[in-house]
């Protein structure tokens, strides 16, 4: 028998808040937390995009002090790893797993990934090497490895279960959660710390996305309006940094210790577009396949049970339209399917996007309230079966609240999670 898997802890570091309560408040209100980019670089004025989702440095500093992270400890990790550990601290505390037995530590694993390495550390290390070999930090290589967030988390807490790292561009966070779900479902662990992190606000990353013409450029003077999924005026995504971590736990174990259960993970689907380096297939088949697989994997669930889709929708002209078409084609006949995207609030967190938005989907299932899409004024779709909401909506007119969460990445990698209230 496959084991049932539930969510018992949540933690987040994001432009929309550095705890789950602040994030949920901002997401529900439809508030945009996008600001002017703070990149300091001689070429920055030449970059076409000047907006970003930035994590509060003051909040980060306060949390580092709160959790007793010494300077010598911080030197062994990049910014993205620091954010992942801070998000993990909140999630562990939320799940009441601070003091667990050595036996349970052996059954607790970590799967936290990132979409990109921290280029700021790579560039700085290159400059140090140009000056002198001896100025290159001995921590350089271990710091930039993309599995090091998982490694540092496991070492900090003594978790000796599966130690894993997904790195699938912007689908990373969703893949990490899905992989963790399967690890527990198949009896390889009892608890998994799962999620994603990305610290991408450096000149090289921003310039690279600008050269791809992927970022928003039309709202540099009004940054709060720049990230606008599904809207007719959308012109590219807003790059953002952050981390999110979910504690996944085998159901019987969670019940035995009277844990808070936020939601249940029901299914996990993966697919490939096999089409283009950076854009999804025009017919949306890859997205459809991932959603179909997630529903199929969710025992006893049919497509008619889905009433909400938390979309990947990044605010790009091509991607948003294709995803809406894919959702409409798969779920037609369901009545009104509610669709929203969190990226209007906090921007696109790249490798952390799939997990921070899964976190919001989990809270939607738990609180029976669906968050809106910020900055959505005129929807690009006129499909009558889709309801792209601009204000929060109660989710109480169904016997069970079942949602899909989509995440797609460069290279045509797709993931979809099926999630419900418990």
Catalytic positions are 170, 312, 348
Are the C-beta atoms of 53 and 71 separated by less than 8 Å? no
Q: Indicate if the alpha-carbon torsion angle 57, 345, 150, 116 is positive or negative.
A: negative
- The count of residues in the chain is 422
C-alpha angle with apex 65: 64 to 66, nearest 5 degrees?
90
Q: Which residue has the tokens 């090497």?
A: 129
Are the C-beta atoms of 176 and 243 separated by less than 8 Å? no
Q: At what angle do helices 20-29 and 353-367 cross, to 10 degrees?
A: 80
Q: At what angle do helices 353-367 and 172-185 cross, to 10 degrees?
A: 60
Are the C-beta atoms of 244 and 22 separated by less than 8 Å? no
State the DSSP H helix or E strand holding residue 80, giving kind and residue range, or none if neither. Answer: helix 79-94
Chain-centre distance for alpha carbon 247: 14
**Angular region, 17: left φ>0, alpha ψ -120 to 50, beta rest:** left
Q: How far is CA 150 from CA 36, 194, 307, 406, in A?
A: 31, 9, 34, 23
Please list, in sequence order, all residues whose beta carbon lies within 8 angstroms of the beta carbon of residue 125, skipping any fewer than 6 positions away. Answer: 136, 137, 140
Q: Bridge partners of 422? A: none
Look up residue 256 and give its DSSP letter: H
Q: Indicate if the alpha-carbon torsion angle 384, 390, 396, 401 is positive or negative.
A: positive
Kindly compute the dihedral angle of the four CA atoms of residues 167, 173, 174, 176, in this order, to the nearest 10 degrees.
60
**And the tokens for 309?**
């889709």
What does the DSSP assignment read for 343-363?
Answer: HHHH-B-GGGHHHHHHHHHHH
The two beta strands, 369-370 and 393-394, are antiparallel
Are the C-beta atoms of 32 and 345 separated by less than 8 Å? yes
């Amino acid at each position: 028998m496959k084991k049932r898997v539930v969510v018992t802890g949540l933690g987040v570091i994001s432009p929309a808040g550095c705890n789950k309560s602040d994030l949920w408040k901002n997401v529900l209100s439809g508030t945009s937390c996008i600001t002017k980019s703070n990149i300091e670089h001689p070429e920055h004025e030449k970059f076409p995009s000047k907006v970003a989702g930035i994590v509060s440095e003051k909040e980060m500093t306060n949390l580092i002090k709160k959790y007793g992270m010494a300077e010598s400890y911080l030197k062994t990790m990049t910014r993205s790893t620091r954010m992942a550990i801070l998000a993990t601290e909140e999630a562990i505390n939320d799940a009441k797993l601070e003091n667990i037995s050595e036996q349970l530590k052996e059954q607790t694993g970590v799967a936290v990934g990132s979409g990109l390495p921290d280029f700021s550390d790579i560039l700085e290390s290159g400059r140090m090497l140009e000056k002198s070999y001896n100025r290159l930090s001995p921590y350089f290589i271990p710091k930039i490895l993309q599995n090091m967030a998982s490694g540092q988390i496991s070492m900090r807490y003594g978790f000796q279960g599966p130690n894993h790292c997904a790195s699938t561009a912007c689908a990373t966070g969703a893949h990490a959660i899905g992989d963790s779900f399967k690890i527990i479902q198949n009896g390889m662990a009892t608890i998994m710390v799962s999620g994603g992190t990305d610290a991408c606000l450096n000149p090289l990353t921003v310039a690279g996305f600008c050269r791809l013409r992927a970022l928003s450029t039309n709202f540099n003077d009004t940054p709060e309006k720049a990230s606008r999924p599904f809207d007719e005026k959308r012109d590219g995504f807003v790059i953002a940094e952050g981390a999110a971590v979910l504690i996944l736990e085998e159901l019987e174990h969670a019940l035995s210790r009277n844990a808070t259960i936020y939601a249940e993970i029901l299914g996990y689907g993966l697919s490939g577009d096999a089409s283009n380096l950076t854009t999804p297939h025009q017919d949306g088949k890859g997205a459809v396949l991932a959603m179909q697989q997630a529903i199929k994997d969710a025992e006893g669930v049919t497509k008619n049970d889905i009433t909400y889709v938390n979309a990947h929708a990044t605010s790009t002209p091509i991607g948003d339209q294709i995803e809406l078409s894919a959702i409409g084609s798969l779920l037609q006949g369901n009545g009104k399917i509610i669709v929203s995207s969190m990226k209007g609030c906090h921007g696109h967190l790249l490798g952390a996007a799939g997990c921070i938005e899964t976190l919001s989907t989990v809270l939607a299932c738990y609180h029976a309230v669906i968050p809106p899409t910020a900055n959505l004024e005129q929807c690009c779709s006129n499909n009558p079966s889709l309801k792209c909401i601009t204000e929060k909506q109660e989710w109480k007119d169904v016997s069970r609240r079942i949602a899909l969460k989509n995440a797609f990445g460069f290279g045509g990698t797709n993931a979809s999670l099926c999630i419900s209230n418990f």
